[in-house]
Amino acid sequence: MTTTPANWYDDPTGRHQHRYWDGNAWTSHVSDNGIQGTDDIAAASAAPTEESAPSGLDRLDAGLTIGDEGSKVDEQLHGGGRRGVGIEGTVEGGGGGILTEPILVVNQKAKLIELSNQYTVFDQHGTAIAVVNQVGQSTARKVLRLVSSLDQFLTTRLDITDSDGRVILRLTRPGKIVKSTVIVSDGNDVELGRIVQQNAIGKINFALEAGGERLGSIKAENWRAWNFSITDAADREIARVTKTWEGLAKTMFTTADNYVLQISERASEPLNSLVVASALSIDTALKQDSRGLG
């Protein structure tokens, strides 16, 4: 037994930023840039010191909580009602990446206080294939988000990285007053296209554009903007985004939002990347940081 309290501390192995100490021993729970995972610790290590625990905004921003690792992907895909989209069986196809899988499950990290946007992206089998992180935030920006909602009017940047840490897409929403635009770029910062808000009142409607040409649309199916139909230039539905209910406890006490992207018809590039980007940025960019309201 030790007197060091259970908490997150600097990882003694050096493999991760933080590791969870349960009060008696190190656990397999680790965290890097606020993204939790597991990594078994083979050998016993000395107990942590309280000085090695993250504190202040760093701890809040990391969203360091234990017991929330389960994504419940199966329930989100195959369950009914608000908890799932009712998919039967497995959808064929997919190459293991966010730009090739027919179904993506996007789960926001559950935090009591959210200072930055963080999501994990799973395939239909429950395998984590990408993470979405808000980047470029200063401490002052985090403080602003903590004490007000003014942060939503500033430029927001999201990096989407694969399981190897490679940037696949970069999303930039410039500072906005009423309508939003999201610039979608590849991993080399080459612009692929834009998601452009068309209206400020009523059901959300966004245009998917590239080089000034309209390639498709995103249309909210209700005023609360929980479900979206994504269409091509001919107004044919090629994908659908559905919000799945995260449960009463999370709804009341955390900021988590969960979405399922179902691609019924794979579009050519750059529309394919814009469709995927729509699902990955829908809470931050499309709903303009509003919890459930468009």
Give yes or no for residue 18 having a pLDDT over 60.
yes
Q: Which of 14-23, 50-59, 115-124, 241-250 has the lowest mean pLDDT?
A: 50-59
pLDDT for the residue numbered 265: 95
Residues 6+ positions from 52 with CB-CB distance below 8 Å: 9, 10
- Chain-centroid distance of CA 23 in Å reads 31
Q: Which of 142, 143, 111, 112 is nearest to 34 (CA)?
A: 111
Q: CATH 3.20.90: does it fit domain 73-286?
A: yes
pLDDT for the residue numbered 133: 83
CA distances from 228 to 5, 73, 204, 272 (A): 45, 19, 9, 16
Give 42 or 169, the one with higher predicted confidence: 169
Q: Which of 122-136, 220-234, 239-253 has the lowest mean pLDDT?
A: 239-253
Report, as an integer, the average pLDDT of 179-183. Answer: 89
Report, as an integer, the average pLDDT of 6-26. Answer: 79
pLDDT classification of 20: cutoffs 50, 70, 90: confident
Summary mean pLDDT of the chain: 77
pLDDT for the residue numbered 83: 65
Spatial separation of the C-alpha atoms in residues 186 and 188, rounded to whole Å: 5
Spatial separation of the C-alpha atoms in residues 263 and 97, rounded to whole Å: 13
Going from N- to C-terminal start, the domains of the chain cover: 7-62, 73-286
CA distances from 163 to 37, 42, 130, 190 (A): 12, 23, 6, 21
Give yes or no for residue 199 having a pLDDT over 70.
yes
**What Rg do the C-alpha atoms of the chain give, in angstroms?**
20
Burial status of residue 285 (CB atoms within 10 A of its CB: 0-12, 13-18, 19 or more)? buried
pLDDT for the residue numbered 203: 83
Give yes or no for residue 290 having a pLDDT over 50.
no
pLDDT for the residue numbered 31: 78
pLDDT classification of 26: cutoffs 50, 70, 90: confident
DSSP track, 85-120: ----S------SSTTT-SEEEEEEPP-SS-SS-EEE
Give yes or no for residue 170 having a pLDDT over 90.
yes
Q: Which of 42-46, 76-80, 89-93 has the lowest mean pLDDT?
A: 42-46
pLDDT for the residue numbered 71: 46
DSSP track, the chain: --SSPSEEEE-TTSSSSEEEE-SSSEEEEEEETTEEEE----S--PPPPGGGS--HHHHHHHT--SS-----HHHHHH--GGG-----S------SSTTT-SEEEEEEPP-SS-SS-EEEEE-TTS-EEEEEEEE---HHHHHHHHH-SGGGGS-EEEEEEETTS-EEEEEEE---SSS-EEEEEETTS-EEEEEEE--SSSS-EEEEEETTEEEEEEEESSTT--EEEEEETT--EEEEEEEE---HHHHHH----EEEEEESSPPPTTHHHHHHHHHHTIIIIISTT-SS--
pLDDT classification of 49: cutoffs 50, 70, 90: low
pLDDT for the residue numbered 68: 42
Give yes or no for residue 93 having a pLDDT over 60.
yes
Q: What percent of the chain has pLDDT over 70?
A: 69
